[in-house]
Amino acid sequence: MKLTKKQINRIKGLREEGLKVSEIAEKLDLNYSTVHYHLNSEKRKQDTRRYWNKLPKEKQRQIRKRYNPYQKEYQRNKYQKDKNFRKKKIEYSKKYYQEHRSSKPIEEVKGGNNK
């Protein structure tokens, strides 16, 4: 069952109030594992990144090579359905780069010294 953002925020809010996972599940009439899953989503993402970064570079290349055709097909289908997909993808990439790769803005990184 897919939860809405509102439901997920309600789960997190109840947890911040001090309720146990089992109490939240009972109160919202959800399964314990569903509540636990959504409360630990950020930790799960971090663990996945840590696992990926610990893999040898050769293993990372093998995995990328295996999934690359699927990713290209997904993007091709997505682009055909949504004409703004390319624009959204570029905006997302710029935002990600600024947040995760460098403390400098993109213009400074690409332009070098602008004196």
In the chain, where the domains are located: 5-42, 55-111
Q: Which residues contact 23 (CB under 8 A, 6 or more apart)?
A: 14
CA 68-45-12 angle, to 5 degrees, is: 140
Dihedral over alpha carbons 62, 67, 73, 79 (to 10 degrees): -100
- The predicted-structure confidence for 53-93, as pLDDT tens digits, reads as follows 888 888 888 887 777 777 777 777 777 777 777 777 788 88
Pick from 100, 99, 98, 29: nearest CA to 110: 98
Higher-pLDDT residue of 102 and 24 is 24
pTM: 0.43
Query: Could you tell me what percent of the chain has a pLDDT over 90?
Result: 24
Q: Which residues contact 3 (CB under 8 A, 6 or more apart)?
A: 11, 30, 34, 38
